[in-house]
Amino acid sequence: MNNITSTYKEANTDVIRNINNEAKDIAANLKIDDRAECMTDRQAFITLKDHKDNFQNKPICRLINPAKSEIGRIKKLLTDSINFAKQYINIPDRDVYIIMQSRKSILFNNGTAWIEKDNGFLDVTMDCYDGAEVCELVGLFILSGLCNTYGKESIGLYRDDGLAVFKNTPGPQAERIRKDIDKHFKNHGQNITIQTNLKIVNYLDVTFNLNNGTFYPYRKPNNQPLCINAKSNHP
């Protein structure tokens, strides 16, 4: 319960009704109202980040919200990201409205609706239908600012994991770069954890070794692969 009350407050039923009515209008305009469902009262739950360091002494949880709109309020960061994308591609106003409406979601716990204390609505729920696209759009916007400073050849981002390589960078300079990148993210209302002066790094499912110029597959501890028989007809 503390995972909810620390950042959420109870919402009234009008909020849910308004979100569903907006989604209904969009679905009708897109002619998909015969198969689009309203937001359901699905219980929120947590998962334990037991792969994190010092988990036994400091357990960390991830709050999962399975309730989402079938169409899917929006922070300034996403608005800025959309405006950034408009410089390169045409995005109709209707699409922008749908993206914004899709961000409206409610967290449910024991039949009670909750909304964020600061923002009123969750932005991107876990496993929402367009979560990956929104994440990549925002990532490109943030990355564009970093590339203007450090060059696109030196820094990259995949969803919420980033990797940067700087040659012949002494410790004090690396620390200044770390602080600058951290400031860049905070200017957009985001927090980031950065490790510097690494010669070997595990990034996504690959380990990169700058000492000998090699790379090889990486798998997180306790992440055992599940094998399926090649002759299986399981879908």
Structure confidence by residue, pLDDT tens digits, 150-159: 988 889 989 8
- The dihedral region occupied by 219, where left means phi > 0, alpha psi between -120 and 50, and beta the remainder, is beta
Q: Is the pLDDT of residue 193 over 50?
A: yes
Please name the residues in contact with 6: beta carbons below 8 A apart, sequence gap of 6 or more.
Answer: none
Token output for 215 = 């790379």
What are the backbone dihedrals phi and psi of residue 185, each rounded to the nearest 5 degrees, phi first? -70, -40
Give the residue ranges of DSSP H helices in 120-213: 131-150, 171-187
Neighbouring-strand partners of residue 112: 109
Per-residue pLDDT band for 67 (boundaries 50, 70, 90) equals low
Neighbouring-strand partners of residue 115: 9
Q: Is the pLDDT of residue 73 over 60?
A: no
Give the per-residue pLDDT at 45: 64
Give the per-residue pLDDT at 49: 66
DSSP 8-state code for residue 203: E
Q: Among candidates 166, 161, 174, which has minimal Cα distance to 202?
A: 161
